[in-house]
Structure 1
Amino acid sequence: MLKSGILPNVVGLNMIVDGACRVDDINLAEKIVKNIEPMTEGLVSPNAVTYNSLINGYCKIGKPEIAEAMLCKMTGMGLEPNIRTYATLIDGYSRNGFLEEAFRLCDNMVEKGLIPNSVVYNSVIHWLYMEEDISGVSFLLSNMMENHISTDKFTHSIITKGLCRNGNINEALKFHKWVMEKSLVNDAFSHNILINYLCRSKSISGAKQVLCNMFVRGLIPDIVTYGTMIDGYCKAGKMESALKVYTDMFKVEKNANLVILNSILDGLCKEESVKVASSLVDEMIRSKNYDVITFNTLLNGYCRVGNFKEAFLLFTKMRKGGVFVNKVTYNIMINFLCKVGLFKHARNLLSVMVSEGMNPDIVTYTTLLTKLSDKSSSEEVVELHDDLVLKGVIPHSLTYATIVSPHIRDTHA
């Protein structure tokens, strides 16, 4: 390197080490650090930034204990770790389930005169909620207040999400109200978390109230807010409300994303408003905003209302029109054919599915055997079961016990 006239420096070293750690080649990174001084004849030595990269690299691959060994090596060389060093290591221990070690390092920081900031606390709080350790969260929050460390929007979001995830939605609402009253944070993100979990728990009225509160507080809902509310209304079968929110959204957001459109489409099909759903798909095609879920949803809608003609036309259009057809597509059609008693056609479609490189799955297995068992001989049921198993399907235990097993006994009677 020196013979080539290239003057090495620690900035270049840190870039290389960080790059190796980013691609998880920690062995290369450590080898470079180990050999840099002899290679450069002592002109370049690793610094705190170098070791921070190594610590981050080891934490990324789930080895926080080796990362801490790097911390010890670093301090042994007279290099002082900073808050970022500890934050990385504490997060590494926390995400790998070693929360006691994370707490120990927090104490070590204080002993060394480094006060953990909100980034450090947020990481531990997040993983405490993942472990459902509510008392640990309370302890850390008290610790933050004692040390006059301000919480931020990420702290509030983590706490809100943690409470919701653990089923304490009412506590999350109380906490959110307290945060709003104290004017600690006022953004769409924390409201979106509540709306999402309220919709998941089928409390649409609660989600609507949070949305109304956003307007009262002068917040403009974003695409995530609208999408979550629309999906919640659709899943609750309240399509009129979903379409109203969809219309309101266009006053703020001019474009609906694919997830929102597919949610509306699914809701329309479940309400058996297939004609409206078909018009929506036509509009999505014109705007080139669709995917296989779009077509599978409409296909299922046609099958739901028993419109075999439109279902078959759409299925043919999908296969010949360049739209990706997947297992879900075939399972929808196989289920429909079985439902209307066209078992031979269902078996033929299974053969087409396999010929196109798609092996049947547990849904195919259960659909075919459940529908076939009442209408066919025991020999046919057992033959189909064996054929599906040979194609790699692992039988569903309940289906096998209640449907296949009795037919096997009959064939040996």
Structure 2
Amino acid sequence: MAISSSSPSSGDWSLASFLSCRKPHKTLKLQSSFSIPTWNVRAFQVINSSSCPSPILEDQASTNLPDTEVDLKFQELQIPDAEDSLNEFLCGLFHDPETEAMGYEQYAKAKKVANFRPNKSTLEHATRLVISCIRARKFKIARTLLEVFKSDGDVALSAFNSTMRGYNELHMYKSTISVFEKMISAGIGPDSGCYCRIMEAYFRKGDYRKVVELFQELKSEKLDLTPLSTQFLFKSLSKLGKPVEALEIFRSMSKEGISLDSSKIYSVLISSFATIREVKVAEELFKEAETKKMLRDPTVFLRLITMYVEEGLVDKTIEVVKVMKGANIRVSDNICCAVVSGFSRKSGLLTAAKVFEDLILMGCQAGQVTYASIINVYCRLGLHSKAEMVFKEMEAKGFDKCVVAYSSMVAMYGKTGRPRDAMKLVAKMKERGCKPNVWIYNSLMDMHGRDNNMRQVAKLWSEMKRRKVSPDKVSYTTVIGAYNKAGDFDMCLRYYNEYRTHGGALDKAMAGMMVGVFSKSGRVDELVKLLRDMKEERTGLDVRLYRSALNALADSGMEMQVKWFQSSFEVT
């Protein structure tokens, strides 16, 4: 049997063309259990009003349908159960990607029949076409469909909801807002689902006040409060810095028996109070959520740990980690690192080392970031053997490309007078495809400079430039210090001029070094210029450098400059 249809409108034809292009034309097979019974055929009037075939069908697509040709332009439904059969038939067309365009065409014709009432399944399939167009970036067709559905009371609400959902999936939140405004102007009252879509759009755009306003509007319309809409409310109140108000609303809704996704709401509330350091309230909510077994989000634990670290509460931090272990929530590398680095900054290196060892005893697994942090702690504490042991353990676990860990180890070798070990480690680092950074080059130049190995210093500087690693202030201070120690003042001046040419500022370390260089080399004019630059940039001098600069000016017989210097600088 062949199916033909009347010529579709321009909007319909565009949709049909779009859908027909998604897959090559094949023999039509309806993916539905429905077949048109012979006793029901009289419900359909055979129409051959146009010789133009359907855009998505070919003549050979006739083998799997009953012998009677149908166009589905229905004028009468003479059999009581024909309506159900028609709905099922339309769903069969919608279900198959190769025939869903024809399904839309036949749905539009069926709607003209007074006795036809689409059921829920038919409506869902019809509106699904809109979101299909949006996902395929066929926005013009989607707008055309929306205009058609806008005047269809049965399908309009669902069509607008689907459209907004499609735009949100593509992060096109301005389009979602535009569709919502069009919906309101058309006099279509949004349901709970539509409010969720528009609240999400405003939330993603950062308009949290509008989200709160929309929720209040949703509540005033006495529509169902969905878990998703309440989540956007609490998140928005949190972003607005109103966790107390959010908590009050949560308590009120819980008493009213409103369905909530309590796990996610507890996550928002605990994180909000932890962020503003309301320790007592955050703790109460945490214990309440733990009792109800609502703690599932690792972010909550990270926020609580950060709060306790900032407050210097080691025992409380360990308790939170224990709760995570008890709830079978993985203690991530980020959390371990937050604990170690946080206590290193707030409570000292020894506390950080102890906390790390406690975490390992509890069965926590350190990752690359945590290893890098604790290696740095051990190096700064002078626990070099522990640092080496942890570094080897880190390598054994496959974390052999961490530049931060390499930097700490190279600096440690430099401070302990082990330049060969440092160079071997850097060579191994390069073999593994890990590029040395400016910190590593600074450490290497410093250790070779202290050994007066200026050839190696020059070689490292050239390698750094060749690898396009930009030198920083420490690099210039290090190389100038090395040449100053070697007595090569011309090279000191060369690197200093390069530093200033590239916009380098004068801090006490650089200024102090150059005061010594100019004083020892008798470059009084350069010294005076340096001192004037220091005055302009408000760089102070310590006692030693003050005396050095004063003696250099006095020895040169520059009385006026001496007086200017004494009136311009104070010992800091």
Place the TM-score, normalised by the shorter chain, in its bin. 0.7 to 0.9
* Alignment match, 1:194: 374
Match of residue 354 from structure 2: 171
Does the Cα contact within 8 Å between 2:438 and 2:470 map onto a contact in 1?
yes
Look up the SS of the partner of 1:250 in the other structure: helix
| Residue 51, structure 1, aligned to residue 233, structure 2 | yes
Cα drift, residue 33 of structure 1: 2.7
Rounded Cα–Cα distance in structure 2 between residues aligned with 1:267 and 1:369: 28
SS in 1 for 2:452: coil
Name the structure 2 match of 1:29.
208
Give the aligned partner of residue 200 of structure 2. 14
Structure with max Cα Rg:
2
In 2: Cα distance, 1:134 partner to 1:173 partner: 11
Q: Using a 3 Å threshold, how does the CA distance of structure 1 residues 336 and 79 change in structure 2: closer, same or farther?
A: farther
Q: What secondary structure, in the 3-state scheme, does the structure 2 residue paired with 1:275 have?
A: helix
Is structure 2 residue 252 aligned with structure 1 residue 70? no
Seen in structure 2, the aligned counterparts of structure 1 residues 103 and 173 have a Cα distance that, compared at 3 Å, is closer
Cα distance in 2 for partners of 1:341, 1:83 equals: 74
- Which amino acid is 1:73 matched to? I
Contact 2:336–2:366 (CA<8 Å) still a contact in 1? no
SS of equivalent to 1:123: helix
More deviation, 240-249/118-127: 118-127
Pairing 1:300–2:478 present: no
Query: Which residue is equivalent to 1:126?
Result: 306
Q: 1:256 to 1:19 in 2, by over 3 A?
A: same
Distance 2:366 2:215 in 1: 49
The answer to whether the 8 A contact 1:369-1:384 is kept is no
Superposition deviation, residue 194 in structure 1: 1.7
The 3 A distance-change label for structure 1 pair 140 and 16 is same
TM-score (norm 2): 0.55
Q: 1:97 to 1:106 in 2, by over 3 A?
A: same
Question: Equivalent residues in 2 for 1:201-240 (5 A)?
Answer: 201-217=381-397, 219-240=399-420
User: Contact between 1:48 and 1:74, CA under 8 Å: does it hold in 2?
Assistant: no
Mean Cα displacement is larger for which, 325-334 or 246-255? 325-334
**Aligned residue number for residue 537 of structure 2:** 359
Find the partner of 1:333 among 510, 514, 523: 514
Distance 2:290 2:526 in 1: 72
Residues 340-399 of structure 1: CA deviation (Å, up to 9, x unaligned): 555553122233566xxx51323x4656523245566799666425324xxxxxx5xxx3
Is 2:491 aligned against 1:310? Answer: yes
Query: Which segment drifts farther, 337-346 or 274-283?
Result: 337-346
Instruction: Write the distance in 2 (CA, Å) between the matches of 1:221 and 1:31.
Output: 47
Query: 2 CA distance for matches of 1:309 and 1:67?
Result: 63
- After superposition, the Cα gap between the structure-2 partners of 1:143 and 1:44, relative to the gap in structure 1 and judged at 3 Å, is closer
Query: Deviation digits for residues 169-226 of structure 1, max 9, x if unmatched?
Result: 65346436535xx5x5253333222211111112222211112223444553522322
| Aligned counterparts of 1:142 and 1:207: Cα–Cα separation in 2 | 26
- Are 1:55 and 1:71, in contact at CA under 8 Å, matched by a contact in 2? no
Rounded to whole Å, the distance in 2 between the matches of 1:317 and 1:266 is: 19
The CA RMSD over aligned residues, in Å, is 3.8
> Residues 360 and 44 of structure 1: is their aligned pair in 2 closer, same or farther, counting only changes over 3 Å?
farther
Tell me which moved more, 227-236 or 110-119: 110-119
Task: Rate the CA distance shift 1:75–1:95 in 2: closer, same or farther, 3 A.
Answer: closer
Letter in 2 for 1:48: T
| Matched AA of 2:277 | G
2:503 is equivalent to residue 324 of structure 1: yes
Return closer, same or farther for 1:218/1:113 CA change in 2, 3 Å cut-off.
closer
Contact persistence 2:215–2:233 (CA under 8 A): no
Partner of 2:19: none
Deviation readout 1:213-262 (Å, 9 max, x if unpaired): 23444553522322221122234443222111101111212422233223
Map 1:374-385 → 2, pairs under 5 A: 383-385=564-566
After TM superposition, the structure 1 = structure 2 runs for residues 248-287 of structure 1, keeping only pairs within 5 Å, are: 248-287=428-467
Instruction: State the 1:288 CA deviation.
Output: 2.3
The gaps in structure 1 that reach 5 residues or longer are 21-27, 389-394, 401-413
Q: Contact conserved, 2:480 with 2:492, CA < 8 A, in 1?
A: yes
In structure 2, relative to structure 1, the CA distance for the partners of 1:341 and 1:82 (3 Å cut) is farther
- Contact 2:212 2:236 (8 Å CA) reproduced: no
What's the TM-score once normalised by structure 1's chain length?
Answer: 0.73
* Residue among 337, 353, 356 paired with 1:157: 337
Amino acid of the structure 2 residue aligned with 1:370: R
Q: Could you tell me which amino acid in structure 2 is paired with residue 103 of structure 1?
A: E
How far did 1:50 drift?
1.9
Aligned-partner Cα distance in 2 for 1:68–1:292: 47
Match of 1:371? 548
Percent identity over paired residues: 16
Contact 1:234 1:264 in 2 (8 A): yes
SS of 1:327's partner is: coil
Q: In 2, distance between residues paired with 1:80 and 1:170?
A: 42
1: CA distance, partners of 2:185 / 2:450: 71
- Cα distance in 2 for partners of 1:125, 1:334 equals 48
Q: Which amino acid in 2 is paired with 1:133?
A: L
Given that 2:211 and 2:236 are in contact with CA atoms closer than 8 Å, whether structure 1 keeps it comes out as no
Q: Who is 1:241 aligned against?
A: 421
Deviation track 1:305-324 (CA, whole Å, cap 9, x = no partner) reads: 2211111223334455xx33
Q: Comparing both structures, which one devotes a greater share of its residues to helix?
A: 1
Distance 1:301 1:12, change over 3 A: farther
Give the count of matched residue pairs. 369
In structure 1, give the amino acid aligned to 2:247: L
Gapped runs of 5+ residues in structure 2? 1-180
